[in-house]
Each structure stands twice: as structure tokens, then as C-alpha cells.
Amino acid sequence: MDRGLYIAASGMLAEQARQDLIAHDLANASTPGYKQDRVASTSFGDLLLHDTSSGRTIGALGLGTQIDRQVTDMSGGPVRDTGEPLDFAVEGDGFFAVRTSAGVRYTRDGQFSRSAAGTLVTAAGDDVLGPTGAPVRVGADGRVASTAIGVVAVTNPVRQGDNLFSATAGGAATGRVRGGALEGSAVDPVHTMVEMLGSLRAFEAGQRVITTIDSTLNKAANQVGSVS
């Protein structure tokens, strides 16, 4: 019975981790170029039960669940026209390369602006890089040609903050830059809310299991075997 407590608790911890990621996704439902995260769960392993008197196999008993890994869904979001001269979207594969204090990072968020030095920068002030790896300059008319912005093919992207990724660069990507447009968040609020409700129900089921086991243990300790 004690094992049941641990199994239920492990499921609740896994659902709590899911809830945290889902809440983070919902908070970024309107963030340009945002990619949603998911957690993959796995079992601790199964315990094979046998009848000690006959040796007959009874079956397997699960020992609970755990978070195996966190993965980012890199599917593209919808592209919409904004009419802003320094908004850009990548249509197809590829990422914008930006120079941060931690080195070159990659993003799909093309909501850029002009810095005091006349370069194209992200909302965090990081320089956007062109095809040659140099910062992109904003013209005197406040515009930047789409061809002046580099689109890089990357492998094994790893999230480094909300909209930045570290990855291995693989040269120019097949995607093209579209000016005056932004890639929207890949989060579908309706679908994500349904996921949150499902995760909440699973969490509550674990709570009910623990409450039931606790009640049973209380009766076993205080009522079973008592003599009136």
C-alpha cells in the first residue's frame, strides 16, 4: 500500500512539471516566433510479480512515472503581415542569427528595431547578423532589404531563454525572409487549455488516490483488530 503512495506522488510530480510548461506556453501565446515545450514521461520500470507458492507469474506492477526529457516543438507558426518596415519572418526552414553577450544565438522572432548605432537589433538589443556574419545596417530611410538578413540552417537547437536557441549552424537555410511580416506564436490557446485541463484532472486523480490510501491506512491502524 505504501508503494501506491509513491506511485501516485510520482504521477503528480510529472503532471506538475507539465502544468508549469503549459502555463509558460499560454503566457507566450502572442509572442512572435515562440515555440512550445513539452515533457516526455517514462516509467521507472515494472516489477514482475510471482506466486511464491507455485512460482506462477501473476503480472507486472508499475513503479510510477518520471520526467524523461523536455522537448521543444519546432513547428512554424502562422505568418501575418504587419506593414512594419523592421518586422521580418522566415518562411520555411531556418533561423535568424543574433549576436548576444553569450555568443551567437538563433531565433524565429523577427520583431526588430534600429539601435542608436544604426544596426538592426532584437528587443533585447542583440545585433541581427547578415549572411556574412556581420551586423545588419538599417538604411537612412529606416528600412532593411530582406536579402541583407541571414537565414541559418541549424541542427539540435536547445532553448536558451524564451525565444533564443543555441545550435550547430549548418550554412544557409532554404527558408526566405519576408519583410513587413511576423511569424506568430506556435501556441494554440484553445488546444493548450484543453491540455491544461487534462493535466489538472490527472493531478487531481493522484490526489484522490493518496487520500484513499491514507484513509485505508488510518482504518487499518485504528479500527482493524480492535476489540470492543
What is the reported pLDDT for 68? 73
What is the reported pLDDT for 176? 92
Non-local (6+) Cβ contacts of 25 within 8 A are 34, 36, 37, 187, 192
Amino acid letter, 143: R
- Nearest Cα residue to 180 out of 89, 94, 97: 89
Conformational region of residue 196, where left means phi above 0, alpha means psi within -120 to 50, and beta covers everything else: alpha
What is the reported pLDDT for 154? 93
What is the reported pLDDT for 60? 64
Spans of all domains in the chain: 2-74+187-222, 79-183
- In order of 104, 110, 111, 126, 144, the CA distances from 86 in angstroms are 21, 8, 7, 14, 7
CA distance 130 to 186: 25
Contacts 24+ apart (CB under 8 A), 113-116: 113/86, 114/86, 114/138, 114/142
The pTM score is 0.75
What is the reported pLDDT for 10? 82
What is the reported pLDDT for 128? 96
For the chain, which ranges sit under pLDDT 50? Answer: none
Amino acid letter, 77: G
- With helix as H, strand as E and coil as C, how does 5-66 read? HHHHHHHHHHHHHHHHHHHHHHHCCCCCCCCCEEEEEEECCEEEEECCCCCCEEEEEECCEE
